[in-house]
Amino acid sequence: MEHSPLKVALIGDVHANLPALEAVLHVVEEEDCGMVLDTGDVVGYGPFPNEVLQRSRESRCFGVRGNYDRWISRFGETHRIGLHESAKADRLRERNPVKHASLRWTFETLTELNMAYITGLPKRREIEIDGALVVLLHGSIVSGNEGLRSTTPAARLRRLATLSPATVFVSGHSHDPFIRTANGKCFINPGSVGRPGDGDYRPSFAIAEITADGVSGDIRRVDYDIDAVLKQIRAQGLPPRIAEMFRLALHPSLLPSDFFLHVS
């Protein structure tokens, strides 16, 4: 009997955007994907942190911890009384009050179960799929804060390819979707489900067939009810600039330098 390759859904950077995640998971179910891999940043900025984490568990997603997940879990471990009591948080509040307000609200909103869930997420996973070794990361294999992009020099990818026996590298963080090859290895960034950065608010994700013989797949976009997210951001009393950021769907580096200074 001929073997049918496993379809794998690759998602990431959901940023607590439940309607966007539901739209993507609907496609994942229609495509009959047998596995979901998540590059992290499940929470941060969006108004549905508990709902998104519950949905992630329900979908039996294999995930890793992103930088926003890490910040929240650290606040949970060391500043249980309140996010605002951290000296580092004080500096963040001065430099980026919008992000500070988002992180504090998320910290105060998460249930103990969901806090334990994101705290327990690993920095990386290695998964064998049909004879191919896949490494799942948030950033690069060198740093969780290195966001690989469609414009990352090929020489950099070739260097990273030598640092692991994996043949497939799946990462997020940059919110820049791509599928590229280097040194015969495949690098995939599915982009952002919840907070795309290219001016297109529609969630970005990938569906791929991964085998020892190679990777076949593509980047997908799907529409969703973005107004439901904007409405919930306002209902929760989060800074209006967060709603504007979701609506514009631009990476923070593309927004005005003073964009995150206004919380009202």
pLDDT digit string (tens) for 57-97? Answer: 998 899 999 999 998 887 755 555 444 455 566 666 667 89
Which amino acid would we find at residue 63?
Answer: G
Q: Residue 139 pLDDT > 50, yes or no?
A: yes
At residue 263, the pLDDT reads 87
- Is 179 within 8 Å of 205 (Cβ atoms)? no
What's the distance, CA 183 to chain centroid? 26
Q: Name all domains of the chain by residue range, CATH numbers in brackets.
A: 7-122+194-261 (3.60.21.10)
The C-alpha atoms of residue 56 and residue 64 are separated, in whole angstroms, by 12
Share of the chain above pLDDT 90, in %: 81
pTM over 0.75: yes
Query: In terms of DSSP bridges, do strands 62-63 and 35-38 run parallel, antiparallel, or are they unpaired?
Result: parallel
At residue 76, the pLDDT reads 57
Q: Residue 180 pLDDT > 70, yes or no?
A: yes
Average of per-residue pLDDT across 8-23: 98
Which amino acid would we find at residue 167?
Answer: T
Distance between terminal CA atoms of the chain? 62
The C-alpha atoms of residue 78 and residue 62 are separated, in whole angstroms, by 26
- Is 170 within 8 Å of 10 (Cβ atoms)? yes
